């Protein structure tokens, strides 16, 4: 048998190499997408915020959204934004960041990253710092002029927590619950 014949046979048996799919989402888009999806669980009629905590290995270790503490009635406690303090949601609501930390499957969040739609308030900043999270990735800083957010930024800077506004070319992700699209 001639060596050219063998080479031709091998060449003919080679399968065309398939390359990876294009257009898949980035890690940032994936984790922020999980945060935004979890926000859809919030019963707050005005503000829905979600958070997703990711460890150094890019594994999700905590997810949370804004809502009342477990066991407190979503029907009886107020959802008001204005009025006397006890007749508003503010003394009762747990923010997404705190819930993500408390819901975490790991007590070791050192070096983790938290993805959250809104820049964290000062109370959440304290919890983020105390938990050992070292990076905050956020979509919106619309309350940047508030004292609570200014205090957050001061604490984050002093504690060495990195802050990053998420930039993406995508404006949306679509989820289909139709089995024919899988």
pLDDT of residue 57: 95
Residues identified as active-site: 97
Percent of the chain past pLDDT 90, that is, above it, reads 77
Q: Which CATH architecture has domain 27-170?
A: 3-Layer(aba) Sandwich (3.40)
Q: In the structure encoding, which two tokens stand for residue 107, read together? A: 């007590």
CA distance 60 to 173: 19
- How confident is the prediction for the chain on average, in pLDDT? 92
pLDDT digits (tens, 9 = 90+) for 64-80: 999 999 999 999 999 99
Q: In the structure encoding, which two tokens stand for residue 94, read together? A: 């747990």
pLDDT of residue 6: 74
pLDDT of residue 90: 95
User: Pairing relation of β-strands 135-140 and 60-65?
Assistant: unpaired
Local structure of 154: helix, strand or coil: helix
3-state helix, strand and coil shares in percent for the chain, rounded to the nearest 5: 35, 15, 50
Q: What is the domain partition of the chain in residue ranges?
A: 27-170
pLDDT digits (tens, 9 = 90+) for 91-132: 999 999 999 999 999 888 999 999 999 999 999 999 999 999
pLDDT digits (tens, 9 = 90+) for 13-28: 676 777 888 888 999 9
**Exposed e or buried b per residue across 70-107, where buried means at least 16 C-beta atoms within 10 angstroms of its C-beta:** eeeeeeebebeeeeeeeebbeeebbbbbbbbbeebeee
pLDDT digits (tens, 9 = 90+) for 39-61: 999 999 999 999 999 999 999 99
pLDDT of residue 168: 85
- Nearest-Å Rg of the Cα atoms of the chain is 23
Residue that wins the pLDDT comparison between 109 and 181: 109
């Amino acid at each position: 048998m001639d060596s050219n014949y063998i080479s031709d046979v091998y060449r003919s048996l080679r399968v065309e190499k398939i390359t990876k799919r294009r257009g898949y989402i980035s890690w940032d888009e994936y984790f922020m997408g999980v945060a935004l999806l979890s926000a859809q669980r919030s019963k707050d009629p005005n503000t829905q915020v979600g958070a997703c905590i990711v460890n150094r290995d890019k594994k999700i270790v905590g997810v949370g959204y804004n809502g009342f503490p477990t066991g407190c009635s979503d029907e009886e406690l107020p959802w008001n934004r204005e009025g006397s303090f006890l007749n508003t949601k503010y003394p009762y609501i747990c923010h997404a960041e705190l819930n993500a930390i408390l819901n975490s499957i790991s007590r070791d969040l050192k070096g983790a990253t938290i993805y959250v739609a809104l820049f964290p308030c000062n109370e959440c900043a304290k919890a983020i710092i105390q938990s050992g999270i070292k990076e905050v990735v956020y979509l919106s800083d619309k309350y940047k002029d508030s004292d609570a957010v200014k205090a957050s930024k001061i604490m984050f800077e002093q504690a060495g927590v990195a802050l990053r506004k998420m930039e993406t070319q995508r404006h949306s992700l679509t989820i289909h619950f139709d089995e024919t699209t899988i």
